[in-house]
Structure 1
Amino acid sequence: MLQVCLNGPRTAADSGAVPMSPAALAEAARQAVAAGAEDVHLHPKTPCGHDSLSPRVVGPALEAVRAAVDVPVGVTTGAWIEPDLPHRRVQRIRSWTLLPDHASVNWHEEGAEAVATALLERGVGVEAGLWSGTEGVRRFARSPLAPRVLRVLAEVTDPDAGSARDTARRLLAALAEVPHGRPVLLHGADGGAWPVLHLAGELGLDTRIGIEDTLLMPDGTPADGNAALVRAAATSACGLPGG
C-alpha cells in the first residue's frame, strides 16, 4: 500500500506545493490517487496555516477530500497542535462531527494512550506512530492497545540519506520484538525519505510519500506537488536498491 502524506506541519513558507485549504487538499489528493496513492494522510489547517483538530477545521477538510477520492482518508493528532493542553486533543476528537477513516497517534507523545482510546471509542482506526530515536516502541510494547491499532507507522526521523536505512533497520528490529500482529508502514523524512521508501519496497512493506515527508524528487530537484512524488514512488518502491 502506498499512502500519500499531503502536507504535514509544513506551510506555504516551506513551498508553494504545500496544500493548505480544503479545496487545495482535495485537488492534491485527487491527483495523488490518480498517480497511484491508495490512502491519504493530511493535516487539516486553519486559514492562518496552523494544524488543527477543531471540528470546524477537520470536517471541511475531510468533506472536500472525500468528494474528490474514494480511498481511506486519515488525519494527524500530533501533540504540537495543543502543546500545553494534552487532554484537549481528546476533547477535540470527541467533538468531531465528521470522522476520518484513521488518525495517526505518536506513541512517544504525552497523552498518546488517551488519544488512541478516544479514537477507538469513536470507531476511527489508529495508526501508531513509532518514531526512531524516541521511547515510542518501548511504550507501544507495554500498551494494551497495541493489538487493536489499524497499522504501525515506523517513522524514521533520521534525515541523513547515508544513515537513514540503517536507522530504519534498527527501528524494525526493535519493533519485531513487539507481538502486535499489525501491518507496518515504513517511511522516512527529508533526506531519508527516498532511501527508506526503497528499503520498504525491498522488504515488501507498506510505505508513504508526499510533501509532508520530502519536498524533493529522487534526483534532488524540487517536487511540484504530491502527485509527482507519488508517481516516482509508485515506479521505484518495489525491488529497487536504496540510496
Structure 2
Amino acid sequence: MVQVCLNGARGSADGVMVPLSPGAMARSAAEAVAAGATDVHVHPKTPCGQDSLSPRVVAATLEAVRARVSVPVGVTTGAWAEPDPLARVARIRSWTVLPEHASVNWHEPGAEEAAAALIDLGVGVEAGIWSGTDAAARFARSPLGPKVLRVLAEVTDTSPDTAEDSARALLDELGSASGRPVLLPGEDGGAWPVLRLAGRLGLATRVGLEDTLLLPTGERAVSNAQLVAEALIQYAGRDATRR
C-alpha cells in the first residue's frame, strides 16, 4: 500500500501546490489515486488554513474527497488541531461523517481515549508511533494495541544520512507491533530513504506534500500525484536519479 498524505499541517506559505480547501483536496486526491495511491490521509482545514477536528470541517472534506475517489480516506486527530484531550474526544464523537480511519499519535496526552472513541465509532485507528518519543513503549502496554487498524511508524529524523538507521531502530522498538500491519513513512530529508527502506522490507508506506515538498533529485514537487508516481518507482528499487 502507498498512502498519499495530501497536506499535513502545511499551509499557504509552503506553496500553491498544497491543497487547503475541500475542493483542492479532492482534486489532489483524485490525481494521486490515478497516479497509483491506494489510500488517502488528509488534514481537514478551516477556511483560514488551520487543521480542525470540527464536525462541519471534517464532513466537508470527506464528502468532497469521496466524491472523487473510491479508496479509503483517513484524517488526523493531532493534538495541534485540538490541544485539550477531553475536547478532542468530544470533537471525534461529534463527527457526522466518519472517515475509514484516523491517525492517533500515541505520545500525545489523551491518545488512548481518542483511539477508544474512534474504535467505538467503527473508525479504524492508525496508531502513530513517532521516533524520538516514548510512543512505542506506551503502545506495547496498551490494551488497544491488537484493536488498531495498523501502526504508523513515523520516522521524525529528517537527515538523509541517518533516517534509515532511525527507521530500523523504531521498527526494533515496535517488535511485533501487537500483530498489526506497519506503515513506514519518513519526513522531509528522511522521506525518500525511509520510503526505499519500506520497499525493501515489504512494508506499506506513504508519500505526499505532508511529508516532503521535494523529489529525490531535490527538485520541488508540483503535486501529490508527482510524488506518488515517483514513490512507486523508488519503492520498487529503481533510482530515479539514474533514469
Q: In structure 1, how many angstroms separate the alpha carbons of the residues matched to 2:226 and 2:177? A: 36
Q: Which among 186, 199, 204 is matched to residue 206 of structure 1?
A: 204
Q: Over residues 143-165 of structure 1, what are the superposed CA-to-partner deviations in whole Å (9 max), with x where a residue is unaligned?
A: 00000000000000000000000
Structure 1 segment 13-162 matched on structure 2, within 5 A: 13-83=13-83, 85-162=84-161
Aligned length: 241
Q: Which among 181, 185, 188 is matched to residue 183 of structure 2?
A: 185
- Tell whether 2:178 aligns with 1:197: no
Q: Report deviation, 1:240.
A: 4.7
Q: Report deviation, 1:239.
A: 3.3
Q: Which amino acid aligns with 1:192?
A: G
Q: In structure 2, how many angstroms separate the alpha carbons of the residues matched to 1:22 and 1:82? A: 20
Q: In structure 1, how many angstroms separate the alpha carbons of the residues matched to 2:127 and 2:238? A: 27
Q: Report deviation, 1:227.
A: 0.3
Q: Which amino acid aligns with 1:150?
A: L
Q: Over residues 97-154 of structure 1, what are the superposed CA-to-partner deviations in whole Å (9 max), with x where a residue is unaligned?
A: 0000000000000000000000000000000000000010000000000000000000
Q: Which amino acid aligns with 1:233?
A: A
Q: In structure 2, how many angstroms separate the alpha carbons of the residues matched to 1:22 and 1:87? A: 27
The worse-fitting range, judged by mean Cα deviation, of 12-21 and 137-146 is 12-21
Local SS of the residue matching 1:74: strand
Unmatched segments (≥5 aa) in structure 1? none
CA contact (8 A) 1:107 1:130 kept: yes
Q: Report deviation, 1:238.
A: 2.1
Local SS of the residue matching 2:233: helix
Q: In structure 2, how many angstroms separate the alpha carbons of the residues matched to 1:193 and 1:235? A: 14
Local SS of the residue matching 1:162: coil
After TM superposition, the score normalised by the length of structure 2 is: 0.97
Q: Over residues 8-46 of structure 1, what are the superposed CA-to-partner deviations in whole Å (9 max), with x where a residue is unaligned?
A: 000011121110000000000000000000000000000
Identity %: 66
CA contact (8 A) 1:202 1:241 kept: no
Q: Which amino acid aligns with 2:153?
A: A
Structure 1 segment 208-227 matched on structure 2, within 5 A: 208-227=206-225
Q: Report deviation, 1:236.
A: 1.6
CA contact (8 A) 1:204 1:238 kept: no
CA contact (8 A) 1:194 1:242 kept: no
- Tell whether 2:210 aligns with 1:232: no
CA contact (8 A) 1:201 1:240 kept: no
Unmatched segments (≥5 aa) in structure 2? none
- Tell whether 2:158 aligns with 1:175: no
What's the RMSD between the two structures over aligned residues? 1.3
Q: Which amino acid aligns with 1:193?
A: A
Q: Report deviation, 1:179.
A: 5.2
Q: In structure 2, how many angstroms separate the alpha carbons of the residues matched to 1:220 and 1:196? A: 16
Q: In structure 2, how many angstroms separate the alpha carbons of the residues matched to 1:15 and 1:173? A: 36
CA contact (8 A) 1:102 1:124 kept: yes
CA contact (8 A) 1:197 1:208 kept: yes
